[in-house]
Copies of this chain bind each other. A is one copy, B any other.
Amino acid sequence: MPDTPETQEKDRGKEQPRRRQARGERRIAQLLEAAASVFCSSGYAAASTNAIAREAGVSPGTLYQFFPNKEAIAIELGDRLMHEMRETYGAALAPVDPATPLADAVGAVVDRFIAFTTEHPVFFALMKGPDTPGRMAEEHDALHSTLVTRIEELLGSLLPDASAADLTRMAHVCLGIHKAGLELVLTHEGAEREAYVREVKDVLIRYLEPLAGARPGTPDERSAPEA
């Protein structure tokens, strides 16, 4: 009889999450926190599961009680980060109000993403490295595509005559600038970090402003260089 409840359970839910006690949930959170720390300082590939377990103060066997393999740790971490990002900054991904001045729109988006990344440095660490595993890269690509599409929409409202290829290219350039800026911002602290944030915004605004032409807004309000 192949239809015993056990068999059905194993066949139906591909990876039915076994019943967890409160203790287990705490361990999972603890392990993910440790993994974030280790990933952040070593990158994904160089991070060893034994090191993660040690950082969390548990044995390797305990780690594998809650995660089937190393990749699953990164995936779960990525899922939680994505979820929190969508929950906290979902508005930053929404189509922008065409009445908003360009400088304000760019500034707001950059501020939000920089705030999220400085609070969760592991997010950048996992996205940067070329050593991220299969499903992780997929998630990254998905986020990347989402952002490119949003930027394309914004640019399309500014440049109705531009071709789709041009819009896509410009969107990729904007994302590239933002990513390079993130790296610079994260390597500085305090006032210097603030200065870099302003600089990144200026780069984006000056790149996009000539394209906007005669638009409503206050183009002179952009932050001026100290010189």
Residue ranges of A at the interface with B (Cβ–Cβ < 8 Å) = 43, 45-46, 128-131, 159, 161-163, 165-166, 169-170, 172-173, 176-177, 179-181, 183-184, 192, 195-196, 199-200, 202-203, 206-207, 209-211, 225-227
Contact sample, A vs B, 10 pairs, CB 8 Å cutoff: A46-B131, A162-B227, A163-B226, A169-B192, A172-B196, A173-B184, A173-B199, A177-B177, A203-B203, A206-B210
Give the nearest-CB partner of A179 in chain B. B180
Q: Measured between alpha carbons, how far is A196 from B165 in the docked complex, in Å?
A: 11
Where chain A touches its partner, the secondary structure class is: helix
Complex: chain B residue closest to A213, CB-CB: B227
Q: Which of B162, B169, B209 contacts A196 (CB 8 A)?
A: B169
Nearest CB on B from A133, distance (A): 12
For residue A183, give the distance in angstroms from its CB to the closest CB of chain B. 7
Sample of 15 more A-B contacts, CB < 8 Å, known A43-B130, A46-B131, A176-B183 = A45-B131, A129-B130, A162-B227, A166-B226, A166-B227, A169-B196, A169-B199, A172-B196, A173-B184, A173-B196, A177-B180, A203-B207, A206-B209, A210-B225, A211-B227
When the two chains form their complex, are residues B43 and A162 in contact, meaning their CB atoms are under 8 A apart?
no
A80 to B181, CA, bound (A): 30
Give the shortest distance, in Å, between A197 (CB) and chain B (any CB): 11
Flag if B203 contacts A225 (CB, 8 Å): no
Closest residue of chain B to A187 (Cβ to Cβ) is B172
A203 to B172, CA, bound (A): 12
Partner of A170, one of B162, B166, B199: B199
Least Cβ–Cβ distance between A215 and chain B, in angstroms: 14
Give chain B nearest CB distance to A122 CB in angstroms.
14
